[in-house]
Structure 1
C-alpha cells in the first residue's frame, strides 16, 4: 500500500487545506449577503423567508442522497467538478432577475443612505389616498416632485419607519427618473400602502390622467385595479424567478461539502491518519473571513462603476463565480480514494434508530434544531437590521469575520473548556450566549454597535458544537459516529434553519426584526432551563473505559476465581451487556 502513489498524505493534506480555504472564500462571497440582495430586488420579508427556508430544506435532504449515490457509483470526483461548474453558472442566473425598481442602482450610487424597497407583498391589502392624488395632480407644477409623497411616514419592507422629515427632505435627483421627467406629459405620484398592522410599503407609478381631467369613481377604480395588477404581477415574477434560481443553485451546490469531506476522510482512513482530518475546519473559517471582508470591500469600491440593470450586489455573484473557477482547478487534484472498504449501506437508518433510543441524543437533537432556527434569523435579517441603522457592507463583512476569527482563537481552549464546564455545561453556555446575542441585536442603535457582541459567536457557535460533537462521539456506537454527526449537522440543524426562515419572515412583516430577536431570545432561555432540568433527571450511564482496564494490576484479580470469571475483561463486558439489556 505504501508503494502506491495514491497515498501521499502530505500532498493530500496540502490540497485539502487549499480546497477548504478557497471554498470558504467562495461561500462567503454570497451566502451572508444573499438576503440583502433579495431585499434590493424588491422582495419583502415573508418571501425572503420562504426562499431561504427552501434553500436550507434542499441542503438538508438533498446532500446526503447525492453523497450516497456518488460513493456507490464511485463518481465523487465527477460530482465535485460538476457541482463547481454548475453552481458557477447557476449563481449568475440571479444576476438576470430584474428588480422591481429599475432606478434602485442609480439611487444607491447617488449616495442614498436608505434604499426604500418598492415591493408589495402578496396578499397585502392596499388602499390609495385618492384625495392626495387629486391634490398632487392639481398642484403638480407648483410643488417639487419630492413633496408628492404624503408626509405621514413611510415604512420599508423590513418594518422600520422613515420619518416625515427624512422623506420630505430627500433630494429630487435621488428619485426615479420617471417621477421627474415630464417630457411626455405623464403625471405620476407615489401611493402609500397601508396594512392593518401598520406595515406600509412605499410604491410608485400610479398614472394620472392629463391635468384638468375629472376623474370619476369608475375611472379611479379602473386605474387602481390596473396599478395593483401590474405591481402584483411584477412581484410574482420576481419571486418565481428567484425561487427557481435559488432552488436550482442549491441543488448543484449542496452536495459539494459532504462529498469532499467523505472522500478525504476515507482517503486518510486507509492509512490511519484521520486525526489530521479534525484540523481542516480552521482553513475553511480562514477562507470565509478573507472572502467576506474582501468581497464587501470590493463591492463598496466598484458598485457605482458597474452599469447594470440590477442592484449593486451583483458583484457578489461575479466574485462567487471567479473564486469557483479557482476551486475547480484545485478539485482536480483533490484526494479521492480509488479503492474503498465495503461498509453497510444502512448506517443512516442505524444512526436514526440509535438517536431514537437514547433520551440524551433526543434532547440534544431538539437543542440543535432550536439553535438552527435561531441562527437562521440572524443569517437572514441581521444585515437588514444593520442596513436600517446605516451600516455599510464593509461593516457587515467585518462583523462576520470577527465571529469567525473568535471561534478560531477559542479553539486552543477547547479541551480546558470541556473539562471545566462538562459537555452539558458547555451546551448551556452556548445557548445562553446565543440568547444574549439575539437580545443585543434587538437593541442596536447605530452602524458599529453590532461589532462588540460578535465575539460571543465563539461560544454560541464554536463551543456549542464542540460539546455536541464530543457528546455524539461518546454515545454513538462504532462506525456510526460520522453518520450521527452528519444527521445532526444536516437534518436537525438544517431543518431548524428552514423552519426558522419560514416563521421569521412573517414575524418581521407583522412586527419587526427587533421583536423577532426578542422572541427567539425568550424561546432559547426557556429551552435552556428545560434542557438543564431534564438533563439532571436522566439516569447517569456507567461507561467502561477499556484503556483503564488494560492497565489494571494483576492483584485486582483473585487467584481463587475459576473459568471465565478470572478474565476481568469478559466480566466487565458481561456487566455492561446486562445493564444494556435491563
Structure 2
C-alpha cells in the first residue's frame, strides 16, 4: 500500500450508509409481512412459528461461521455480492406454491367482496320467490325426514308392487359375483401354494435383482408416505426448505459488510464513525415497510401480496453495484484471535452483563412473538396493507429518533442500567395494549412506546458491552447481545408463540408476553439493586479529557487511576497482534 494514499473517511461512511439503507429497505419490504404470506398459503400458527424458529436457528449457527470464513479467505466482497443476488432469486421460489385451500386469512379483494355480496343477495332472494310460488309445486314443500322419523313412519308407507323377475335377476347377479370372488380366492391360494419358499427364491435371484427390489420397495414406501401426507404438511415442508436455503444465503451479508467497514475505520483511527450507519438502517427499514404497504394496498386487486417479494428482489439487485464499491479492508495486524469466545467469557464473568444477556433473550422472545402474529390480529380486524405498513414503520422511526439522545442520556443517568427496567416495562405495556385492540389505528400509540423502549434497551446493551469489552473485542461483545436478542430469543419466541396462538389465541399470547416481561422487570430491578456494580475505567475518555477543565487534584487522581489501570491491564492482557 502506498504511503500517500488518501483515505476519505466521510465518503466511505456515506457510501456504506447508502448501502445499508437500500439493503434494510429491501428487508423491510418483505420480512415483516412474511408470516402474513404463510397464513395466505394456509399454514397454521404452529407451522408458521416453526418455520420462523428454524430461520433464526440457521442464522444463529451460520452467520458467525460464514463471517469467519469470509475474512480468513479474504472473500468478503464476493460473499456480499453472491448473497444479494442468490437470496433475491431463491425467495421468489415461494411464489411458485399455490395456496392449499385452507387459508385462515379473512381479507379478500374489494371486487371479490362485491361479487360475494351480489351472490348473497341472490341467494337470499331465492327462498322468497319459491315460497311465493310454492303452491302449485308439490316437491318444494316436502321436508327431508330424519333417520329416526323414517324408521318410525315405515308403517304408514303404502304397499308397492314388486317385480319378481327383477328380483330373480338381482339374485342371479349376486350369485355370480360371489362365485367370481370365490374363484379369485381359490386362484390366489393356488398361487400361494405354487410359490416357492423364500430360501429357494433367494437362490434363484441374483444379488443385483435383490438390491433392485429393495430399492424399489423403499421408493414405493417413501412415495406412499408422501401421498398419505396432506397438502398442508407438504406445503409446510416445501416452504421450510426454501426458507432455510434463503437464510443460508442471506445471513452472512450484514455482518460481513460490518466487519469490513469496522476494520477500514479502525485502520484510520475513526472507529467512532461506525455508529453513524445504524440510523440509516433504521430509516431504510421504516421506508421499506411503509412504501411496500402503500404499494400493495393500491395494487392488491391486481397482483395481491406478491409485490412484497418483487420489491425485495428489485432492491437487492439495485444494491449489487453498491456492493462492488463498498469500503472494505482486511486489517491483518489488529485482529484479536478468538474474539467471539473471549467476548462470551467477558459476558459470563460480569454479573451485570449476565443480567443484560438474560434480558436480551427474554425481550427477543417477546419481540419475535409480537412481530410474527401482530399482523394476523390486525388482519382479523380488517386492517389493510396501508395501515399495516404505516403502523410497522413507526417503531424503527422512533428508534432512529432515539439515537441522537444517547449523549444526553449518558450525562443524565450516568448509569445505563437504570434505563433497562424502564425499557422492559414499556415493552410489557405495549404487548398488553395489543390484546385490547379493537381497530387497527389503536395500535399506533403502542408502536411509539415500543420504538422508544427498544431504543432504550439497545442503548443500555451497547453501553454494557463498552463497559466490559477489552481492547479489540468491542464489536464482538456487542454481537453477543445482538445474537441473543435476534437469533436465540427470537427462535424460542417463534416456537412458543406458534403453540400459544394455536391453542389459546393471539390475545392470550400478548397477555402472557406482557406478564412475562412485567415479572422480569421487577426481578431485574431487585437484582440490579442487590448486585454490586464494578465500574471500569475508560482509557480513551481519560486520555481525551481536556487538562484545562480539570483541577490539579483531579488530574493527579486520574493519573493515579490510569497508572494502576495500565499496570493491571499489562498483567491481565493476553491478546497479541498478528503480523
Do Structure 1 and Structure 2 share a fold, with TM-score over 0.5? yes
Q: Distance in 2 between matches of 1:267 and 1:570?
A: 31
Specify which of 325, 349, 356 is matched with residue 357 of structure 1.
349
Match of 1:154 in 2: none
Tell me if structure 1 keeps the 8 A contact 2:40–2:105: no
Structure with greater Cα Rg? 2
Residue 321 (structure 1) shift: 0.6
Match of 1:449 in 2: 442
Residue 93 (structure 1) shift: 0.9
Tell me if structure 2 keeps the 8 A contact 1:81–1:331: yes
Residue 10 (structure 1) shift: 3.2
Q: Relative to structure 2, which stretch is displaced further, 249-258 or 232-241?
A: 232-241
Match of 1:78 in 2: 78
The yes-or-no answer on 1:489 pairing with 2:486 is no
Q: Distance in 1 between matches of 2:442 and 2:427?
A: 17
Tell me if structure 2 keeps the 8 A contact 1:373–1:498: yes
Match of 1:28 in 2: 28
Tell me if structure 2 keeps the 8 A contact 1:557–1:568: no
Q: Relative to structure 2, which stretch is displaced further, 393-402 or 42-51?
A: 393-402
Q: Distance in 2 between matches of 1:297 and 1:284?
A: 20
Specify which of 498, 501, 508 is matched with residue 501 of structure 2.
508
**CA offset digits 1:156-194 (Å, max 9, x no partner):** xxxxxxxxxxxx99x9xxxxxxxxxxxxxxxxxxxxxxx
**Alignment RMSD (CA, Å):** 3.3
Residue 548 (structure 1) shift: 5.1
Name the CA shift for 1:33/1:321 in 2 (closer, same or farther; >3 Å): same
The yes-or-no answer on 1:279 pairing with 2:276 is yes
Specify which of 390, 393, 403 is matched with residue 401 of structure 1.
393
Match of 1:410 in 2: 402
Alignment of 1:290-439 (within 5 A): 290-306=287-303, 312-337=304-329, 340-421=332-413, 422-439=415-432
Tell me if structure 2 keeps the 8 A contact 1:429–1:459: no
Name the CA shift for 1:322/1:339 in 2 (closer, same or farther; >3 Å): same
Aligned length: 463
**CA offset digits 1:79-111 (Å, max 9, x no partner):** 001100110111101111221129999982345
Tell me if structure 1 keeps the 8 A contact 2:55–2:243: yes
Q: Distance in 2 between matches of 1:493 and 1:103?
A: 29
Residue 342 (structure 1) shift: 4.9
Residue 15 (structure 1) shift: 1.6
Q: Distance in 2 between matches of 1:93 and 1:407?
A: 33
Match of 2:522 in 1: 529
Q: Distance in 1 between matches of 2:105 and 2:530?
A: 58
Residue 343 (structure 1) shift: 2.0
* Structure 2: gaps of 5 or more residues: 127-225, 574-579
Alignment of 1:112-191 (within 5 A): none
| 3-state DSSP of counterpart to 2:242 | helix
Tell me if structure 2 keeps the 8 A contact 1:61–1:491: no
Name the CA shift for 1:112/1:496 in 2 (closer, same or farther; >3 Å): farther
Q: Distance in 2 between matches of 1:102 and 1:557?
A: 73
Q: Distance in 2 between matches of 1:9 and 1:415?
A: 22
Q: Distance in 1 between matches of 2:483 and 2:564?
A: 39
| 3-state DSSP of counterpart to 2:536 | coil
* Structure 1: gaps of 5 or more residues: 115-143, 148-167, 172-228, 307-311, 559-565
Match of 2:61 in 1: 61
Name the CA shift for 1:579/1:387 in 2 (closer, same or farther; >3 Å): same
Higher relative contact order (CA 8 A, sep 6+): 2
Name the CA shift for 1:53/1:476 in 2 (closer, same or farther; >3 Å): same
The yes-or-no answer on 1:499 pairing with 2:492 is yes
Match of 2:156 in 1: none
Residue 58 (structure 1) shift: 1.2
Match of 2:137 in 1: none
Name the CA shift for 1:342/1:392 in 2 (closer, same or farther; >3 Å): same
Tell me if structure 2 keeps the 8 A contact 1:42–1:101: yes
| 3-state DSSP of counterpart to 1:313 | helix
Q: Distance in 2 between matches of 1:398 and 1:553?
A: 53
Normalised by the length of structure 1, the TM-score is 0.73
Alignment of 1:245-260 (within 5 A): 245-260=242-257
Tell me if structure 1 keeps the 8 A contact 2:346–2:468: no
Residue 578 (structure 1) shift: 11
Match of 1:470 in 2: 463
Residue 283 (structure 1) shift: 1.0
**CA offset digits 1:130-160 (Å, max 9, x no partner):** xxxxxxxxxxxxxx9979xxxxxxxxxxxxx
Tell me if structure 1 keeps the 8 A contact 2:39–2:105: no
**CA offset digits 1:341-376 (Å, max 9, x no partner):** 352331111111111211111111000000000000
Normalised by the length of structure 2, the TM-score is 0.74
Name the CA shift for 1:113/1:352 in 2 (closer, same or farther; >3 Å): farther
Q: Distance in 1 between matches of 2:378 and 2:335?
A: 49
Residue 575 (structure 1) shift: 7.9
Alignment of 1:568-579 (within 5 A): 569-571=562-564
